[in-house]
């Protein structure tokens, strides 16, 4: 185990925030995880687990140990004519994993193309896009319990997936290091999801005769490239806030003042309102203060134009949160992990 001191974390977070870690190490296997968590380097200071740093806002230097998860590997666990079950190391890049599956014609993750980050972080917030979520394909999550160093397996059900939520953000928060995920994908009779109009239209625009695993993946990549800022160009962590759900009665009242207010049915009696719309109505879209701001085309995406401070971004997020509360009496909560 090699622990480095005073490491600049700017290459390790997609906001590109300059913050230093007092100590930094990488783990490449389950046994390395087990050895690390029993060592003083781990037990005697606070710890931050890191995948691709694409859902992270560093508001200050990290006065502890950053552990970058680099457990690689992919294997077919079992296979029939209809289905393939695959296990991926937590450090595998999510989008590369998606392309690996799409190239083989395996269905299930195509709508999740081009989401940054690692396989191991994907179940944390039950990543989702274009009508598909992690919970739709995951069989189990392998994780090492920090207290005992033992390996646990969480079934899909025990992961308690919800909208951008899982047991790993709730009861099991900070208790486990995810080391692998297992996914079940279809080899034929795919349950293709083209519920989003933009995906259907883009498939046609790209010249595909109809939806397929590859067509959907290509369409999603195309849409995302045209819509979302590339973190390699402008620092960001995707959607900063989760979309709030409000009681149907509150939504009806909102529509009286704002007939165009978008809303989508959520759990019983609740309506999901796009946080981006709320933020835009508060006048934040495109606002820039110094090196940070709100993206000009995506009100939900906070950006670091270069040299921005993490704490300034956090203060901006709090201001946005307050203004949405004042204008609409709706609470919006960060999707991004703020450290
Ligand atoms: C441009 C852009 C677009 C995005 N679009 C989407 C989208 O469409 N849908 C979506 O859901 N998300 C989206 N995201 C958010 C992000 O890509 C996902 O949340 C992703 O799963 C984060 O992976 P990561 O490896 O970068 O995690 P990190 O940012 O490194 O970590 C996220 C959290 O998980 C913890 N963690 C990381 N790895 C492990 C592990 N192995 N074990 C235990 N804890 C761990 C970290 O401590 C942290 O709390 C987007 C981000 C960007 C920058």
Asked whether 86 and 76 are in contact (CB, 8 A), the reply is yes
Region 4-69: CATH code: 3.30.43.10
Domain segments of the chain as ranges: 4-69, 74-227, 235-338
Classify residue 105 by its DSSP letter.
T
Q: Residue 67: CB within 6 Å of ligand 1?
A: no
Alpha-carbon gap, residue 133 to 110, rounded angstroms: 11
The pLDDT assigned to 267 comes to 86
Q: Which residues contact 67 (CB under 8 A, 6 or more apart)?
A: 25, 26, 27, 36, 42, 47, 48, 49, 50, 177
The full DSSP string for 1-62 is: ---EEEEE-GGGSTT----EEEEEEEE-SHHHHHHHHTSHHHHTS-EEEESSSSSEE--S-E
Nearest atom within ligand 1 for CA of residue 48: 47
- Which residue's C-alpha comes closest to atom 28 of ligand 1? 53
For the chain, where are the alpha helices, taking DSSP H only?
30-37, 40-43, 94-103, 197-205, 213-227, 248-257, 275-281, 310-328
- In this structure, whether the domain defined by 235-338 belongs to CATH 3.90.78.10 is answered with yes
Alpha-carbon gap, residue 3 to 5, rounded angstroms: 7
The pLDDT assigned to 251 comes to 96
Nearest atom within ligand 1 for CA of residue 55: 29
The full DSSP string for 155-169 is: ETGGGT-BTTB-GGG
CATH number belonging to the domain at 74-227, selected among 3.30.465.10, 3.10.20.340, 3.40.30.10, 3.10.310.30: 3.30.465.10
Asked whether 173 and 98 are in contact (CB, 8 A), the reply is no
* Two domains, one topology: 4-69 and 74-227: no
Alpha-carbon gap, residue 83 to 325, rounded angstroms: 46
Q: Of 289, 291, 288, 290, nearest to 307 (Cα)?
A: 291
The pLDDT assigned to 1 comes to 79
- Which residue's C-alpha comes closest to atom 14 of ligand 1? 238
Which residues are catalytic, by number? 164, 239, 335
What would the two tokens of residue 166 be? 């899982």
What would the two tokens of residue 139 be? 């069989």
| pLDDT tens for each residue of the chain, 339 residues long | 799 999 999 999 999 999 999 999 999 999 999 999 999 999 999 999 999 999 999 999 999 999 999 999 999 999 999 999 999 999 999 999 999 999 999 999 999 999 999 999 999 999 999 999 999 999 999 999 999 999 999 999 999 999 999 999 999 999 999 999 999 999 999 999 999 999 999 999 999 999 999 999 999 999 999 999 999 999 999 999 999 999 999 999 999 999 999 999 888 899 999 999 999 999 999 999 999 999 999 999 999 999 999 999 999 999 999 999 999 999 999 999 999
The pick from 11, 28, 55, 173 for probing ligand 1's pocket by mutation, whose C-beta has the most ligand atoms within 8 angstroms, reads: 55
Q: Residue 177: CB within 6 Å of ligand 1?
A: yes
Q: Which residues pair with 65 in a beta bridge?
A: 23, 47
Q: Residue 127: CB within 6 Å of ligand 1?
A: yes
Q: Residue 259 C-alpha to ligand 1 middle, in angstroms?
A: 35
Integer angstrom CA distances of residue 221 from 225, 290, 294: 6, 31, 23
């Amino acid at each position: 185990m090699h622990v480095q001191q005073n490491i600049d974390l700017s290459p390790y977070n997609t906001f590109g925030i300059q913050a230093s870690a007092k100590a930094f190490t990488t783990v490449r296997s389950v046994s390395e995880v087990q050895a690390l968590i029993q060592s003083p380097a781990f037990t005697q200071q606070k710890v931050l687990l890191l995948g691709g740093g694409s859902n992270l806002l560093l508001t200050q230097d990290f006065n502890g140990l950053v552990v970058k998860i680099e457990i690689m590997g992919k294997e077919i666990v079992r296979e029939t004519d209809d289905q393939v079950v695959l296990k991926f190391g937590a450090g595998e890049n999510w989008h590369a994993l998606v392309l690996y599956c799409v190239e083989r014609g395996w269905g299930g993750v195509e709508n999740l193309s081009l989401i940054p980050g690692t396989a191991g972080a994907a179940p944390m917030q039950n990543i989702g896009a274009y009508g598909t979520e992690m919970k739709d394909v995951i069989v189990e999550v392998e994780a090492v319990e920090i207290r005992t160093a033992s390996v646990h397996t969480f079934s899909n059900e025990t992961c308690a997936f919800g909208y951008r939520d899982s047991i790993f953000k709730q009861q099991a928060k900070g208790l486990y290091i995810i080391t692998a995920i297992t996914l079940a994908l279809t080899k034929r009779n795919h349950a293709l999801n083209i519920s989003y109009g933009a995906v259907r239209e883009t498939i046609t625009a790209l010249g595909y005769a109809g939806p397929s695993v590859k067509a959907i993946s290509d369409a999603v990549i195309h849409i995302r490239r045209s819509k979302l800022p590339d973190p390699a160009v402008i620092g960001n962590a995707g959607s900063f806030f989760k979309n709030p759900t409000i009681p149907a009665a509150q939504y009806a009242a909102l529509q009286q003042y704002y007939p165009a207010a978008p809303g989508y049915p959520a759990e019983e009696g609740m309506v999901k309102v796009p946080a981006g719309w709320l933020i835009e109505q508060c006048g934040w879209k495109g606002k820039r203060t110094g090196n940070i701001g709100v993206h000009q085309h995506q009100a939900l995406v906070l950006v670091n134009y270069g040299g921005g401070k993490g704490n300034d971004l956090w203060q901006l997020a709090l201001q946005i949160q307050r203004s949405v509360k004042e204008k609409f009496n709706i609470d919006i909560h960060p999707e991004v992990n703020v450290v």
